[in-house]
Each structure stands twice: as structure tokens, then as C-alpha cells.
């Protein structure tokens, strides 16, 4: 059985409307960029998320035996949780990203369970003591009701007493970075160029991402995000039946006072 055969496709009852309708599909960009995603610097962010979850579990004196990672991408975080002794399920809408995750898991002999599904509506018929959603995945949903649906779906999979931890790009991120116009990031054997377009009135942004690597043709994709207000997210979390334990700066950014990303820690009573 090859990697593709091991990725389960979960058919959702959610309306077949793209979260980036009218601007192109963000998830389509990840289909094209998946092969270069880890190389582009994503591993460093994943390592930070692994550390923060480890610190959180130690602080709360929790030893979860399983984790559900929503928008898992190439599986770096899930594999790290498995190294801590957890069973892990990864959900992502991009089959190409999951294929990369499956290849990595197979190389390590790790039984990482992968499911191709829309984060707004899936049902695994089980709950987890730890549910995560990183990489500003919720910002990729352009409508408030889509964010609420994604949070409700995640909450339905949190076991009693369990944690739901996620991050969002905050207003500083959009005003200081997405307002652009562009940036180029040196990643060793190549570079990532990002050209930003941000509509302040609509609080929506688009970014043209181009990966350039030595001796290979560049590859480009568009990513679309929206700046959702903390009040919108807080309302969705509470409506989903979760308690907000804290909202603070994401430790990926050294200066907490000007962090560009918020970290949300929620709990099911």
C-alpha cells in the first residue's frame, strides 16, 4: 500500500463553497507548494509549537495519549507529538500536503493517521484530550461563519477536560506585514519571495508566494487570509462550549508586546 492509499478522504456535508471564493483557492496553492513547504522555513515554526505544547502540558500536569492536529500540513507537529508517546491524527484539505506527511511518517515508521477533509466540517466519531490548529489556518477562512464552523467542528472533537490550542494572525500582522508590499526571505539554498496585497476596509489579504531554489524552476501560489477580530473568535469559542483559558502572544515572536500572532488556549469543561 502506497502513501496515497493510506490517506483517508472524509466526505463532508459542508456546502461546496471555497473559503476564498472570488479570489482563488488558497488550498490550491498548497497543492502546488507542498513539495517545498518544509524547505521554506516551516519547520522552525513547527518546532516552536512543539515546545509551547510541551511547556503547556508540563504546566497543566497533563499527559494526553492522543492528539488531533487540524490543518496538519506536512505532519511535522503530529510526528513530534508521536515522539512524545501520543497517537496522532492529522487533518488537512490538501492531499499533496498530506502525501508529504505520509512520506515523512513512513520514513520514520510512525503510524500517523492522515485524513483529507475540510476543517469546517468533519466527523471522526471520537474525541481527543488535545486538539491543535496552528499555522494561522483559521485566517485562511474568509468568512466569520466559516471560522465559527471550524471552531465548532474542532470543539466537537475535544474530550471533556481536554485542550484546544490554536493560533491566529492578529491585526498587527496584517498592518505591518500584509500591508506589504513585499519581502524576500533567505532560506539557505534559495529564497521565498512574498508579494502582499491587503484591503484594510475588508480586512482581507492576498499573498503571492514564490519559492526559488538553486537549479530548479521557481514555483508560485496565492494564499488568501482575513483578519478576524478577537471578539469574533471569542464568540465562536464560547458558542462551541469551550472555556478560553488564555489569549496571548505566540512565542515564535521574541517581542511579546509586538507579537504578530495570538495563541489561544481553550478547554472543554
* Whole-number pLDDT of residue 117: 96
Q: Where do the H-state alpha helices sit in the chain?
A: 3-6, 26-37, 42-60, 76-83, 95-108, 144-156, 171-173, 230-239
With contact defined as beta carbons under 8 Å apart, do 252 and 261 qualify?
yes
Top CATH class of 3-10+18-170+227-267 equals alpha beta
* Whole-number pLDDT of residue 200: 96
pLDDT mean by block of 10 residues, the chain; 269 residues: 62 42 54 86 92 96 97 97 97 95 96 97 96 97 97 98 98 94 88 95 94 89 95 98 96 82 97
Cα dihedral sign for 207, 145, 164, 124? negative
- With cell 468568512, the residue in question is 143
C-alpha to C-alpha distance for 33 and 58, rounded to whole angstroms: 35
* Whole-number pLDDT of residue 255: 78
* Whole-number pLDDT of residue 166: 98
C-alpha to C-alpha distance for 126 and 39, rounded to whole angstroms: 34
C-alpha to C-alpha distance for 122 and 31, rounded to whole angstroms: 20
DSSP symbol at 189: S
With contact defined as beta carbons under 8 Å apart, do 198 and 178 qualify?
yes
* Whole-number pLDDT of residue 101: 97
* Whole-number pLDDT of residue 10: 59
* pTM of the predicted protein model: 0.91
CB atoms closer than 10 angstroms to residue 108? 12
* Whole-number pLDDT of residue 8: 72
The residues with which 66 forms a beta bridge, in sequence order, are 87
CB atoms closer than 10 angstroms to residue 79? 22
* Whole-number pLDDT of residue 257: 76
Amino acid at each position: 500500500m502506497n502513501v496515497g492509499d493510506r490517506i483517508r478522504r472524509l466526505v463532508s456535508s459542508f456546502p461546496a463553497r471555497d473559503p476564498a471564493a472570488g479570489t482563488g483557492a488558497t488550498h490550491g496553492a498548497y497543492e502546488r507548494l507542498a513539495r517545498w513547504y518544509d524547505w521554506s522555513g516551516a519547520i522552525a515554526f513547527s518546532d516552536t509549537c512543539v515546545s509551547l505544547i510541551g511547556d503547556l502540558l508540563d504546566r497543566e500536569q497533563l499527559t494526553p495519549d492522543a492528539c488531533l492536529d487540524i490543518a496538519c500540513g506536512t505532519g511535522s507537529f503530529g510526528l513530534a507529538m508521536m515522539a512524545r508517546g501520543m497517537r496522532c491524527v492529522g487533518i488537512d484539505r490538501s492531499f499533496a500536503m498530506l502525501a508529504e506527511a505520509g512520506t515523512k511518517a513512513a520514513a520514520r515508521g510512525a503510524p500517523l493517521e492522515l485524513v483529507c477533509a475540510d476543517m469546517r466540517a468533519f466527523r471522526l466519531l471520537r474525541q481527543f484530550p488535545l486538539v491543535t490548529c496552528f499555522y494561522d489556518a483559521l485566517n485562511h477562512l474568509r468568512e466569520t461563519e466559516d471560522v465559527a464552523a471550524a471552531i465548532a467542528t474542532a470543539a466537537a472533537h475535544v474530550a471533556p477536560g481536554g485542550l484546544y490550542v490554536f493560533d491566529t494572525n492578529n491585526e498587527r500582522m496584517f498592518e505591518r506585514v500584509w500591508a506589504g508590499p513585499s519581502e524576500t526571505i533567505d532560506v539557505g539554498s534559495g529564497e521565498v519571495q512574498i508579494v502582499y496585497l491587503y484591503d484594510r476596509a475588508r480586512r482581507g489579504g492576498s499573498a503571492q508566494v514564490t519559492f526559488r531554489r538553486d537549479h530548479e524552476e521557481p514555483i508560485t501560489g496565492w494564499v488568501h487570509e482575513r483578519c478576524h477580530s478577537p471578539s469574533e473568535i471569542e464568540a465562536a469559542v464560547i458558542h462551541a462550549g469551550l472555556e478560553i483559558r488564555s489569549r496571548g502572544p505566540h512565542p515564535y515572536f521574541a517581542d511579546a508586546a509586538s507579537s504578530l500572532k495570538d495563541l489561544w488556549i481553550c478547554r472543554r469543561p
